[in-house]
């Protein structure tokens, strides 16, 4: 059964032609990218579509997703398409000699072949991946919160520019970010699932950042899965917005301060992944070779959905869909790109 559904009365492309929608998407991406660079002091770099297997560089997400793998004939090596660039970015900052307080960003394109397709999820992933070297003494929760506020400000500025160009855009967002840790949210809504708790928080606050994703909570389960070897589970989180078209929370960014040697060891042990300590990337963290960094990913298609009030990700990106999704979109008058 298709997991794609549209609210009653949803009007695809309301007020904008498909041509105007494409122009609006371009405006969103250019404006946000420029503001993000200015606000976080980032420099654009080139990034890989795939990395060598067995190095520990790829993002393992929840640990069950299968990467798309292939052999490189002349190199006599196997490679895999990245899930994200969470680890690669930290390596790049070190290899490229970035100074403290400076960072990088790149366009990340990925294939997540095991994604469950619905209004918000596609096998094609496009996001801005960014990473920044922390200055001494700033590996703190205050640093994380300040960075989140800056990113939310960039999103609000982008919406202002979009509505100036296209006044018919109905979206309104709160610039104020409410911070809630995941254990507090569980205590407040013990009878709800993690996603239901996210929806409740986003509906109440509009713009919310959930702190602490990956570690087990008092119910013995993590709020959501998070790989143990890039984010520090006590200094990370997800930026959510209340998304009126679907009546749910919409995650725009997952980000955090990265693991140091002690947090990597404890998180690998907690997740039963201590064998990873022998991988190249992990050795660099455990030896203290890599700098302390903060970073994350910001979904490009997700941001376009949020600002343009689109109810399906296929309205702002081109991908491959199952037949049930295609029929559901046709029934709602939604044209998939």
Q: What's the whole-model pTM score?
A: 0.91
Tokens encoding 81: 């398409």
How much is the CA Rg of the chain, to the nearest whole Å?
20
DSSP string, 26-51: HHHHHHHHHHHHHHHTEEE----SEE
Please say whether the beta carbons of 212 and 183 come within 8 A.
Answer: yes
Closest to 279 measured CA to CA, from 87, 122, 92? 87
Which domains, from first to last, does the chain contain? 18-331 (3.30.930.10)
Longest dimension (CA), the chain: 57
Burial track 109-126 (b if 16+ CB lie within 10 A, e otherwise) = ebbbeebebbbbebbbbb
**Strand, helix or coil at 162?**
helix
What pLDDT does 277 receive? 93
pLDDT per position in the chain (337 positions), as tens? 358 888 888 877 677 888 899 999 999 999 999 999 999 999 999 988 888 887 777 766 666 778 888 888 888 888 888 877 888 899 999 999 999 999 999 998 888 888 888 899 998 999 999 999 999 999 999 999 999 999 999 999 999 999 999 999 999 999 999 999 999 999 999 999 999 999 999 999 999 999 999 999 999 999 998 889 989 999 999 999 999 999 999 999 999 999 999 999 999 999 999 999 998 889 999 999 999 999 999 999 999 999 999 999 999 998 999 898 898 888 888 888 8
Q: What pLDDT sits at residue 63?
A: 63
Q: How many C-beta neighbours within 10 Å does residue 8 have?
A: 5
| pLDDT value of position 4 | 84
Cα–Cα distance for residue pair 204/226, rounded to 1 Å: 25
Predicted confidence at residue 57, as pLDDT, reads 73
Tokens of 132: 């920044």
Task: Output the pLDDT for position 96.
Answer: 95
* pLDDT of 1: 39
Surface-to-core class of residue 184, CB atoms within 10 Å of its CB (0-12 exposed, 13-18 middle, 19+ buried): middle
3-state secondary structure (DSSP) of residue 332: coil
Residues 90/96, Cβ–Cβ less than 8 Å? no
| C-alpha triplet 166, 168, 171: angle, nearest 5° | 95
Report how far apart, in Å, the C-alpha atoms of 7 and of each of 128, 196, 248, 293, 328 are: 29, 18, 12, 41, 12
Contact 263, 290 (CB under 8 A): no
Burial bucket for residue 25 (CB in 10 Å: 0-12, 13-18, 19+) = buried
What is the separation of C-alpha 221 from the centre of its chain, rounded to a whole number of angstroms?
21
Residues taking part in catalysis: 59, 112, 127, 238, 251, 254
Q: Which of 134, 104, 148 is nearest to 260 (CA)?
A: 134
Phi, psi of 104, deg, nearest 5:
-130, 160
Q: Which of 286, 55, 318, 35 is nearest to 158 (CA)?
A: 35
Q: Which residues pair with 129 in a beta bridge?
A: 106, 297
Is the distance from CB of 299 to CB of 121 less than 8 angstroms?
Answer: no
């Amino acid at each position: 059964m298709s997991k794609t559904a549209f609210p009653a009365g949803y009007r695809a492309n309301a007020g904008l032609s498909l041509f105007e929608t494409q122009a609006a998407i371009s405006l969103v991406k250019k404006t946000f990218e420029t503001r993000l660079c200015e606000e976080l002091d980032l420099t654009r770099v080139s990034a890989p579509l795939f990395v060598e297997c067995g190095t520990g560089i790829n993002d393992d997400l929840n640990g069950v997703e299968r990467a798309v793998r292939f052999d490189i004939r002349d190199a006599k090596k196997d490679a895999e398409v990245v899930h994200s660039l969470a680890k690669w970015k930290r390596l790049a900052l070190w290899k490229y000699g970035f100074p403290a307080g400076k960072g990088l960003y790149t366009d990340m394109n990925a294939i997540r072949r095991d994604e469950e397709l619905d209004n918000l999820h596609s096998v094609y992933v496009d996001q801005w991946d960014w990473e920044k070297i922390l200055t001494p003494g700033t590996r703190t929760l205050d640093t994380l919160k300040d960075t989140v506020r800056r990113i939310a400000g960039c999103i609000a500025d982008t919406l202002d520019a979009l509505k100036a160009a296209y006044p018919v855009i109905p979206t309104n967002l709160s610039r104020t970010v409410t911070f809630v840790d995941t254990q507090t949210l569980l205590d407040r809504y013990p009878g709800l699932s993690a996603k239901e708790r996210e929806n409740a928080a986003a509906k109440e606050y509009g713009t919310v950042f959930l702190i602490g994703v990956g570690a087990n909570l008092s119910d013995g389960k993590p709020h959501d899965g998070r790989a143990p070897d890039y984010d520090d589970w006590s200094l990370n989180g997800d930026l959510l917005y209340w998304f009126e078209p679907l009546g749910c929370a919409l995650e725009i960014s997952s980000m955090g301060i990265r693991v140091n040697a002690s947090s990597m060891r404890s998180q690998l042990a907690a997740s039963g992944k201590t064998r990873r300590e022998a991988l190249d990337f992990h050795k660099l963290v455990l030896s203290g070779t890599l700098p302390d960094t903060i970073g994350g990913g910001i979904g490009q298609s997700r941001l376009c959905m949020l600002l343009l009030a689109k109810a399906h990700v296929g309205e702002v990106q081109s991908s491959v869909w199952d037949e049930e999704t295609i029929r559901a979109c046709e029934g709602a008058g939604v044209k998939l790109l």
